Amino acid sequence: MKLINYISIIAVPATILIILLYGIFEKKNVFDIFLKGANDGVKMVIKIFPTLVGLFLAIGALSSSGILDFIINIIKPILNIAKIPSEIMPLAILRPISGSGSIAVATDLMKKFGVDSLIGLMVGTIMGSTETTLYTIAVYTSSVNIKKIRFVLFAALTADLTGMIISVAICKTFLKNF
């Protein structure tokens, strides 16, 4: 355990040092290359900013409109048959859309039920096995001007759904004593 702690402490500084030494060895101006990369990064942020604003506006409208509760009430009978706790559904719905929104929901669920409860463990597992799909697709496709995303979107949302279902199944199977 101490070895892992040591490695995690020195990982970032060691990586920076390796990059600097490689640049010096290859006789490249590392600082100028860094500045060019930072400049390109700022240009990319400016390019994707409208997409991010639209996405954050949609997330805010979804969260405050009460539509999440409406959707959960509609699918609650299916959840009861599948024995999936309806308490995790706000996270399951919000996770593909918003990282910060899903972290807020996950934090609330863990405060309410406890981190060591079955729901708390399911929440942690879902957070680790899924992605903020719509955000990621919006950012990456808008940065390279891709317009047709239906196949990527379908595959990514299917992967998220699979991650959520498997998370619940694993937690219910292996952590049922909680």
Q: Where residue 5 falls among pLDDT bands split at 50, 70, 90? A: confident
The predicted structure's pLDDT at residue 178: 58
Average pLDDT score, the chain: 87
pLDDT tens-digit readout, 33-60: 989 999 998 998 888 788 778 777 877 7
Which residue's entry shows tokens 């004593």?
Answer: 177
- Report the predicted TM-score, pTM, of the whole model to 2 decimal places: 0.66
The pLDDT value given to residue 127: 94
Rounded to an integer, what distance in angstroms lies between the CA atom of residue 40 and that of residue 167? 38
pLDDT digits (tens, 9 = 90+) for 10-24: 999 999 999 999 999
145 burial level (CB within 10 Å; 0-12, 13-18, 19+): exposed
Give rounded-to-5 percent helix, strand, coil for the chain.
85, 0, 15
Tokens 């498997």 belong to: 166
Domain ranges of the chain: 48-174
Per-residue pLDDT for 65 more than 70? yes
Distances (CA, A) of 39 to 1, 110, 141, 145, 177: 40, 40, 20, 20, 53
What pLDDT does residue 167 have? 92
Name which of 100, 97, 53, 99 is nearest 71 in CA terms.
Answer: 97
As a whole number of angstroms, the distance between CA 151 and CA 157 comes to 10
Residue 134 has pLDDT above 90, yes or no: no
Query: What residues contact 138, with CB distance under 8 A and at least 6 apart?
Result: 48, 51, 52, 55
pLDDT of residue 129 exceeding 80, the answer is yes
CA angle 119, 124, 130 (to 5 degrees): 115
Query: Could you give the angle at which helices 30-65 and 2-25 cross, rounded to 10 degrees?
Result: 130
Task: Give tens-digit pLDDT for 154-167.
Answer: 999 999 999 999 99
